Amino acid sequence: MAYPAATNYEIAQVCLLAGKIMLENGGETYRVEDTMTHVAEAFGVPNSHSFVTPTGIIFSIDGPEQTTRLIRISARSTDLRKVTVVNAVSRRISQGELTPKEAYRLLEEIDVARTGYPAWFQILSAAIASGCFLIMFQGEWHDFLPAFVAGGAGLAFLNYFNRLVPIKFFAEFLASLLIGTMAFLFVKVGFGHALDTIIIGSVMPLVPGLLITNAVRDLMAGHFVSGVSKGAEAFLTAFAIGAGIAFVLSFYNGEGI
């Protein structure tokens, strides 16, 4: 269904906001581009082009009123519920239920909505997941509680360091450093037994699993710039986690412990 009253600028605004929300909340690059193209087509603009990278979106509409817009993506997290809601809005647009102004207003509400789980719930989930990962990696049940505590504390401090330090990889390094230190102390005082499985279970909530998956999917879809950049980000995250743990182990090994 076409909307003759809408300008190319208004349509581009809707497409960019939809793409921004999806990209900031864990959407794959090819999915973001497809959604933007389908929204533009639903508004009667068949000749649109989009170029999406993890740090920015370029959207262009051909025709007599050619429009090109660029939006910067500075923060990325994981909130797949927002991605799902944007997809639902996109389907409503395709069915002719929304005008550009109505769609833009809905997307603005989605963008500012705080749909994520509260911090305490995330920390509790990370703690439980850490203990379960320890069991999955052949750990003993008497080490479940140390992994539970270290994993929850690791995510709590990661959230704190992310607010304190704007450099993501430094925050991940500090969080893994804390996890390694806590695991060592637990083993030192007899609260834990197997240092390696406690550490492995505790750092799993920090592992960039979704980022690795999206990198592979983008590469398979032919989005090499996004795939390689996401893969590099995942590698740096893994390196920061490994460096924090290695620092703790090498320090205490140097002490002869």
Phi, psi of 48 (to 5 degrees): -120, 155
* Predicted local confidence at residue 108, as pLDDT: 92
Chain centre to alpha carbon of residue 27: 8
Q: Which residues contact 112 (CB under 8 A, 6 or more apart)?
A: none
Q: What is the pLDDT of residues 159-186, one digit of tens each?
A: 888 888 778 888 999 999 999 999 999 9
Q: Summarize the confidence of residues 62-70 as an average pLDDT.
A: 81
Of 69, 73, 68, 75, the C-alpha closest to 56 is 73
pLDDT number for residue 255:
46
Could you tell me what percent of the chain has a pLDDT over 70?
Answer: 95
Confidence of residue 240 (pLDDT cuts 50, 70, 90): very high
pLDDT per position as a tens digit, 241-256: 999 999 888 876 544 3
Q: How do residues 196-236 score in pLDDT, each as one tens digit? A: 899 999 999 998 888 888 888 888 888 888 888 888 888 99
Q: What is the pLDDT of residue 5?
A: 53
Distance CA 207, CA 234 (A): 8
Whole-prediction pTM: 0.77
Phi first, then psi, for residue 97 (nearest 5°) are -90, -15
- CB-based contacts of 197: which residues, under 8 Å, 6+ apart? 134, 137, 138, 139, 140, 143, 147
- Interhelix angle 119-136/144-164, rounded to 10 degrees, is 140
